[in-house]
Each structure stands twice: as C-alpha cells, then as structure tokens.
Amino acid sequence: MRATAQAQLSEPYLQDHPLRQQLEDAVEESMSYTRTTCPQLQADGWYYWLFNDGSFQRDVMVRSKHVSRDFGKAVGSGGPEIVYDPNAEEKNLSLYMYSWSPSGALLTLILQESG
C-alpha cells in the first residue's frame, strides 16, 4: 500500500481517537531527553558527534577541537559548534547516516525524509 493511500485510510480514524493526545504526549516525553553519540576524531583535527538536548526534533551534528571541554555541553553555550542542523532545514529531514573521507576533507550525509 502506498504511503498516501495508507495515510488516507488511517488519518480519519486516528484524528478522532479519544486517546490520541495521551499517545502524542507519551511519545514526546519518551523522546525528550539528552542524548549524544561517541565523538569521532577526524583527519582535520576536529571531533564530530551528534547531539540533542531533548528540545530538538532531530539530532544536530556538532564539532569541537576540545572534546574534553565541550562534550555534553549544549549547542550555543560556548560549547561545540554546529556543523549540520536538520531542524533549521526542511521539517521532514533527518540525518540518517554520515561518513568522512580518509583525508577528513569530505563529508557524506545521508538524509532521510519523513522518517
């Protein structure tokens, strides 16, 4: 079944379901926590990792040359700088995977739409 046909079938039922708001609240609460990936040192001398303080819809890629000072700190607090923020782009994009070239000069991002 195509996504649009599936949405047309399910949305009218889900929109009026009496427990919809409770489910939305539970999902939101379960996703609103600070999370981070392991910093990775790249050939350009920067450490890169994904970070979310629980307030972002999607994880943000950040970097720092001083991982011991900046790891775990919130973005914009004098800590790591943002490399890629899918929250600032289209609302339905998220960073699915990324990979660096051996030289550290090139970054490949795989973005996922609506997922």
- Cβ atoms within 10 Å of 95's Cβ, excluding its own: 18
Token output for 50 = 């994904």
Q: What is the pLDDT of residues 56-69, one digit of tens each?
A: 888 889 999 988 88
Q: Residues 25, 49: one domain?
A: no
- Counting Cα atoms < 13 Å in the Cβ hemisphere of 70 gives 21
- Cβ atoms within 10 Å of 74's Cβ, excluding its own: 14
Q: Residues 48, 22: one domain?
A: no
Query: CA 39, CA 48: separation in Å to the nearest integer?
Result: 5
Q: What's the predicted TM-score (pTM) here?
A: 0.70
Q: Residue 99 sits in which domain range? A: 33-113
Q: Residues 52, 22: one domain?
A: no
Q: Residues 62, 25: one domain?
A: no
Q: Residues 43, 88: one domain?
A: yes
Q: What is the pLDDT of residues 78-115, one digit of tens each?
A: 789 988 888 886 677 888 888 888 888 888 988 888 75
Q: Domain count of the chain?
A: 2
